[in-house]
Structure 1
Amino acid sequence: MTKKIAITFSVFLYAFVVPYLDINETHVWNPDWTPHARIHEVWQLITNSSIGVVCLWLVWYKKEGRLSTLLSLIVMGGFLAAFFLKDGYDGSMKYLDGSEKTVLGINLAVLGFGIAFLFLLGSHLFTKTKRTTLNDV
């Protein structure tokens, strides 16, 4: 059950919380973003949310956790990699006004995705029961 909770928690963050936070003037309707950048943002939101729905279906209805775990790790790991590589492409988590959402000095998205990534990875590594199913988890 720990693996199901870890998958569900991670999917909740990237498939539902992120779109809720990004469909506004800071991202999708940001007047300072080019239309090309906005289409990439909406594409990413739709893709990640769709992957999340598939992951929930896999883990709760098909009882298959390996693929769901892998897909969730790819989505969250992709964000974390982009964050840590940000200096190489002049990226930032700060808004144009210089503000940034932080908790204890750590960017909120990095903190949330980092915790979810580690929870998901740990639950996968420490709750291996059957090769392809979650029937016993």
Structure 2
Amino acid sequence: MNILKGNIVSIKQSESLMLVFMDVKGYLFNSLLLKNGDENRLEVGMDVHLIFKETDVTLATTDSIVSERNSFVSKITHIENGKLLANIRLDFLGHEINALITKGALHGLKCKIGDEFRWVVKASEVTLQIL
């Protein structure tokens, strides 16, 4: 599981949905959530953990243009090959981000330790934990 510490800077609501914007060391992340109840009230200024699975992280070349706002460039620090999948570790501001991709994608992208790649996670896959 990937976990980053952030601070809520803005919340937009529409009917039963919330789009929550968080600052993680100067980088803006967002999370699309169902509107929360009073027991877990999210507010601007709150510190939260951003939590997302390795299987929800996509890799792309650094010059790729994507529609997703949670899109950042980081350096590959480790590649662990399995029979079908490869676990790619990236350094994002000193935090380890893991991406689980197929071996075919690993070879197609020509991933190597030390290379920079764009990693992407959909806003609907980011869960928040109030700190």
How does the TM-score come out when normalised to structure 2? 0.25
Higher relative contact order (CA 8 A, sep 6+): 1
The structure with the largest helix share of the pair is: 1
How does the TM-score come out when normalised to structure 1? 0.24
